[in-house]
Amino acid sequence: MSVHMMDTTLFGGSMGTPEMRSIFDEKNLLQSWLNVETALAKAQSSMGMIPKDAGEIIAAKADIALLDLEAVKASGKVSGHSLLGLLGEFRKVIDHDYSRYVHFGATTQDIIDTGFILMIRDGYDIVQDRLGRCMHLLSGIVTEHADTVMVGRTHGGHGLPITFGFKAASWLSELGRQLERLQEARSRILVGNLTGAVGTFASWGDKGIEVQSKTLDILGLGTPDICWHSSRDRIAEVMNLCSMLAATAGRIGRNVYHLNRTEIKELEEPSKGKIGSSTMPHKKNPVHSEWIMVLERTIRANASICLEAMGQEDEREASRWKNEWITVPETFVMLSGILNHLEIVMGGLTVKKDQMLKNTDILKGMLLSEQVMFLLEKIFPLPQAHSKVYTASVRATENGSHLLDELMADQEIAETCNREDLEKALEPAGYLGLSSDVALAVKEKAQTQLSQITG
C-alpha cells in the first residue's frame, strides 16, 4: 500500500498528473543514471580514452528493463550505497569485457546529479507547456470579460468598480512573469556535472574538461564552469521558481474560492458530476481551487528545504543533498497537479455577470464615492468635498439608506448640484477607468509571449 497521499488510488489524481509521475518514478530515475553513464562512455570512446566501440557496446544494454531491480535493491541493503548495485547489474547485462569501462573515472554524485537534471529538464518542459495552456485559456476570459463590470475589493471590502477582464488580466500578467522567469533561468539551471571525486577532474587528467563537455553535449545539458557538488543553488533556484508559480496559482485559486462564496456567487468552478457533501445534497464545493491551495503550501515549504540544502559542507556531503531527492520529485508532481486544476478551472469557469453587476449596488451608491467626491470638487475645495461625501456615507451606513439620498439631504449640495448628475456619477459602468484597455493590452502581450514558445 502507498504511504504518500500522492501515490494513493484515491487522491493521486488530485495531486499530480501521470505525465509528470512518469518522469520522476523510480525506473526513470535509474534510467537517467544509465543515460549519463552511456553518454560518458560514448564521449570517452570518441576521445580514445577507452576502446572506440566500447561506448556503443555499453549503450546497447543501457535499458533499465534489462536489469534485475531486485538484485539492485539487495545490493543497496548490504552496501548502503546509492549507485553500486545498479552499476553491478548493468555490467552483468553488458556481458562484455568492455563493461569495465562503465563509470570510468566518474563519481557517484556526478551520475546522480546529472541524471537528476535530466529529469528536471523533462519536468521543466511539462510545467512550461501546462502553464502556456492555462495562459491561453485565461487570455480568452480576459477578452470575453474586458467590459464585465464587477466590484473591485480592497482590504476585504468594496473599493471601486473594475471589470472582471481587468481582474483576470492581473492573473494573466503574473503567470506571464512566472513563464519569463522559467525561460530566463533555464540555461542556468539545466547544467550537468561530471568532474570526479572532488571536482578536479583528477581521474581524467588534462582531458577532464573535454570529457565533461562532450558528455553533456550528448545529453543536451549545459556545462558548468566549476564543479557544483556542494553548490546547490541551481536546485534551490528551480524549486523557488516552482514555489513562485505555485503561489501565483494559489492567489488565483483563492480569488475563485472567495468569489464562489454563497453570499457573493460571482464565479463558479466547473462542477458537473461532483458531489460537495455526503450529508448536504445542495453543496457544490470549489474543489479545484482548494487543491491548488493545499498543494501550494507544500511546494513553498519544499523550496525552503532546498534553500537549507545550500549549506553543504566542504567539497561533497549528503546530509543535505539527499533532501533534494525527496522534495524535488514531490514538488514537480504537485506542481503538475496545480496546473492541471488551474487549467480545469480556467477552461470551465462560470462568470455570473448579472450577479457581479448586482453586487456593485450592495453599498447603495457608496462604491462610487470617489467619483462623487471629484464631481463635488468642481464646486467645493477637495477637502470639503471629501468631508461631505464621508459624512453622507456615514449617515447612509447608519440609516441603511442610499448615498444619493444622503447627499441630497446636504443643503449646500442640494442647492448647487443636479440630482441627475449625481445619479449618473453613481453608475458603476461610468467609472471603470482604463480597466478594459489595460486588460486587453495584457492579453496582447501574453499572446505574443505564447506565440514565441509555441511558434
pLDDT digits (tens, 9 = 90+) for 259-299: 999 999 999 998 765 655 556 566 578 899 999 999 999 99
Supply the pLDDT for residue 75: 82
Catalytic residue among 155, 278, 282, 451: 155
Cβ contact 199:169 at 8 Å: no
Question: Concatenated DSSP letters for 322-372?
Answer: THHHHHHHHHHHHHHHHHHHHHHHHHH-EE-HHHHHHHTTTTTTGGGHHHH
**Higher pLDDT residue, 299 or 68?**
299
Q: Which helix (H) or strand (E) holds 315?
A: none
Q: What is the DSSP letter of 453?
A: H
In this model, does residue 454 exceed pLDDT 70?
Answer: no
In this model, does residue 39 exceed pLDDT 90?
Answer: yes
Cβ contact 252:288 at 8 Å: no
* Residue 86 maps to a domain: yes
Q: Which of 345, 220, 229, 331 is nearest to 287 (CA)?
A: 345
Supply the pLDDT for residue 1: 63
Q: Which of 290-294, 353-357, 410-414 has the lowest mean pLDDT?
A: 410-414
* Residue 259 maps to a domain: no
- How far from the centroid of its chain's Cα atoms is residue 271's Cα? 23
The label of the residue with cell 577532464 reads 208
In the chain, the number of structural domains is 2
Where in the sequence is the domain holding 370, given as residue range(s)? 366-425
**Listed residues 78, 104, 130: the one ending a domain:** 104
- What band does 382 get if pLDDT is binned at 50, 70 and 90? very high
Q: Which helix (H) or strand (E) holds 157?
A: strand 157-163
* Residue 399 maps to a domain: yes
Query: What is Dmax (Cα atoms) for the chain?
Result: 104
* Residue 26 maps to a domain: yes
Q: What is the DSSP letter of 263?
A: T
Supply the pLDDT for residue 388: 87
In this model, does residue 145 exceed pLDDT 80?
Answer: yes
* Residue 76 maps to a domain: yes
Cα separation of 353 and 138, whole Å? 17
Q: What is the reported pTM? A: 0.93
In this model, does residue 38 exceed pLDDT 70?
Answer: yes
Residue 87: all three cell numbers together: 552499476
The predicted model gives 317-345 an average pLDDT of 93
- What band does 455 get if pLDDT is binned at 50, 70 and 90? low
Q: Which helix (H) or strand (E) holds 64?
A: none
C-alpha to C-alpha distances, 101 to 51, 109, 339, nearest whole angstrom = 9, 18, 43
Residue 7: all three cell numbers together: 501515490
**Listed residues 68, 87, 104: the one ending a domain:** 104
The average confidence (pLDDT) of the chain is 92
Supply the pLDDT for residue 132: 97
**Higher pLDDT residue, 221 or 320?**
221
Let me know the angle formed at the C-alpha of 23 by 21 and 26, rounded to the nearest 5 degrees: 80
Cα separation of 338 and 342, whole Å? 6
**Listed residues 83, 104, 125: the one ending a domain:** 104
Q: Which of 107-121, 144-158, 269-283 has the lowest mean pLDDT?
A: 269-283
Strand partners, 153: 158
C-alpha dihedral sign at 326, 332, 336, 338:
positive
Supply the pLDDT for residue 283: 57
The predicted model gives 19-30 an average pLDDT of 95
- What band does 171 get if pLDDT is binned at 50, 70 and 90? very high
The predicted model gives 126-155 an average pLDDT of 97
The predicted model gives 170-187 an average pLDDT of 97
Cα separation of 170 and 116, whole Å? 34
Residue 38: all three cell numbers together: 552511456
Question: Concatenated DSSP letters for 130-152?
Answer: HHHHHHHHHHHHHHHTTT-EEEE
Catalytic residue among 2, 79, 187, 277: 277
- What band does 157 get if pLDDT is binned at 50, 70 and 90? very high
Cα separation of 25 and 64, whole Å? 12
**Higher pLDDT residue, 128 or 310?**
128
Cβ contact 266:352 at 8 Å: yes
The label of the residue with cell 505555485 reads 246
* Residue 32 maps to a domain: yes
In this model, does residue 310 exceed pLDDT 90?
Answer: no
Contacts of 428 (CB under 8 A, 6+ apart): 149, 161, 357, 360, 361, 367, 368
- What band does 19 get if pLDDT is binned at 50, 70 and 90? very high
* Residue 299 maps to a domain: no
Check if 278 is active-site.
no
In this model, does residue 114 exceed pLDDT 90?
Answer: yes
The predicted model gives 181-186 an average pLDDT of 96
Check if 288 is active-site.
no
Supply the pLDDT for residue 428: 94
**What 3-state DSSP class applies to 432?**
coil
The predicted model gives 93-100 an average pLDDT of 94
Cβ contact 306:324 at 8 Å: yes
The predicted model gives 391-409 an average pLDDT of 91
State the CATH number of the domain containing residue 67.
1.10.275.10
* Residue 370 maps to a domain: yes
